[in-house]
Amino acid sequence: MSESSTDLGPTGAFIEHLGVDLDEVTGDRVRATWTVTPHLHQPHGILHGGVHCSVVETLASVGAATWLGDRGRVVGVSNTTDFYRAVRDGTLTSTATPVHRGRSQQVWLVETVDEQGRTVARGQVRLQNLAG
Q: What are the residues facing 90 on neighbouring strands?
A: 36
Question: How many Cβ atoms from other residues are within 10 Å of residue 128's Cβ?
Answer: 15
Alpha helices in the chain (DSSP H): 14-18, 49-68
| Rounded-to-integer distance, Cα 74 and Cα 28, Å | 15
Q: What does DSSP assign to residue 4?
A: B
Which sequence positions are flagged as catalytic?
Answer: 57
| Rounded-to-integer distance, Cα 41 and Cα 43, Å | 7
In contact, 53 and 121? CB cutoff 8 Å: no
